[in-house]
Structure 1
Amino acid sequence: MSTTQFPLHTIDSAPEAAQPAMSGVERRLGYLPAPVAMMATSPEALQAFLAASATFDRTSLTPVERETVILTVATRAECHVCVAMHTAALTRRRASGELIAQLRAGEPLTDPKLEALRRFTLAVMDSSGGVSASDQEAFLVAGYTRRNALEVVLGVGAYTMSTFANRLTGAPLDPQMEAYAWEPGA
């Protein structure tokens, strides 16, 4: 496939069906992130991602647990934009620097429960959902539920969509996220 440049849409230049979603993101964040502006090339893809991520935000996983899933997906997919954005989210939530550094490096987490979540997320990704009985049991023994297991699948799906779209479009890092820049293997 030849490389093509995806447009960095403004709300006015985007397809009309994407404009309401873009406006909502801009109102919520105070700026229009480049990944959203580029994903707007397909209003359906943008709307699907925003709906899936909003649904994931309503799961019974805590905010830090959700960010653990997201950063596990983002580092595995090597999405520099997602890692930066979700590092900023964990920073706003006052997560420890140690947790953030471990997630960004793809290293085992000091917190045993979050490490079980990280390992389960990797197992879901690595097995395309065919997680072994022993990996499922380890997740449950750590204090998670079968509901949580399906919520991890939801998070993996939502954030695989965004990481793949960001990599496909070549979404740049926004200036607002430069302090959280990340590169694979860094």
Structure 2
Amino acid sequence: MLDDLFVPHTLESAPAEARPIMEGTARKFGHVPAAVALMAGAPQVLKGFLAANGAFEQTSLTPLQREVVVMTVATRNACHLCVAMHTAALAGLEAPAELVENLRERKPLPEPRLEALQLFTLAVMDRRGAVTDEEMRAFLDAGHTSRNALEVVLGIGAYTISTFANRMTAAPVDPAFQPFAWEGEPT
């Protein structure tokens, strides 16, 4: 049985390289999230995700736009933990309920610019970056820029690390995010 292959580390059991990261995460969240405790078994993966995510958070995309990218990746990859966490983040941003519901259910978004962002994110994922001229034009015509297009790639990269690691390790949804639990399958 492989049930004990991935161990949720504590500050005491984690590899030395992961401990400072876990301590910082605990200060930020008040606890070490399960995903971090599990990723700590490979400190470079944890560092890589946090570095990519930190860079993504500094892009010119708004917080709401970044959440659209993250939720699109998370639902596409069926990461229950990421969907729950980022539904909570959307609640914190006071995102409209219809937007949140449509993101979770993979439905068209009510706001055209955000819908264009969601469709572009899916196109980048589906085509491994080689989007068509029509897909790029639709994205640009919705008010996005070439810079935004590359920033979408960064968001996809960061959250591919997270969603894949969370699925591989079967990271559970932390109690704080249980109200936002989601059950979905990859598309």
TM-score range relative to shorter protein = over 0.9
Report the Cα offset of residue 3 of structure 1. 3.6
Distance in 2 separating the partners of 1:96 and 1:16: 42
C-alpha distance after superposition, 1:50-99 (max 9, x if no partner): 00000000000000000000000000000000000000001011111111
Q: How far apart are 1:141 and its partner, in Å?
A: 0.3
Q: Which amino acid aligns with 1:83?
A: V
Query: Which segments of structure 1 move beyond 6 Å, counting only runs of 4 or more?
Result: none
**1:120 alignment partner in structure 2:** 120
Which residue in 1 is equivalent to 2:105? 105
1:11 CA drift (Å): 1.2
How far apart in 2 are the matches of 1:3 and 1:73? 27
Partner residue in 1 for 2:143: 143
Q: Gaps spanning 5+ residues in structure 1: where?
A: none
Structure 1 partner of 2:169: 169
Letter in 2 for 1:162: S
Aligned equivalent of 1:58: 58
Q: How many equivalent residue pairs?
A: 184
Structure 1 partner of 2:26: 26
Partner of 2:68: 68
CA RMSD in angstroms comes to: 0.9
Pair 1:3–1:132, CA change in 2 (3 A): farther
Match of 2:8 in 1: 8
Percent of residue pairs bearing the same amino acid type: 56
Once residues 100 and 176 of structure 2 are traced to their aligned partners in structure 1, the CA distance between those partners, rounded to angstroms, is 18
Q: 3-state SS of the aligned residue for 2:51?
A: helix
Give 3-state SS (helix, strand or coil) of 2:18's partner.
helix
- Residue 131 of structure 1 corresponds to which residue in structure 2? 131
Q: 1:145 to 1:77 in 2, by over 3 A?
A: same
Q: Is there any run of 5+ residues in structure 2 with no aligned partner, and where? A: none
Determine the C-alpha separation between the residues in 1 that align with 2:61 and 2:144: 9
Whole-Å separation in 1 of the counterparts to 2:76 and 2:164: 11
The normalised TM-score by structure 1 is 0.97
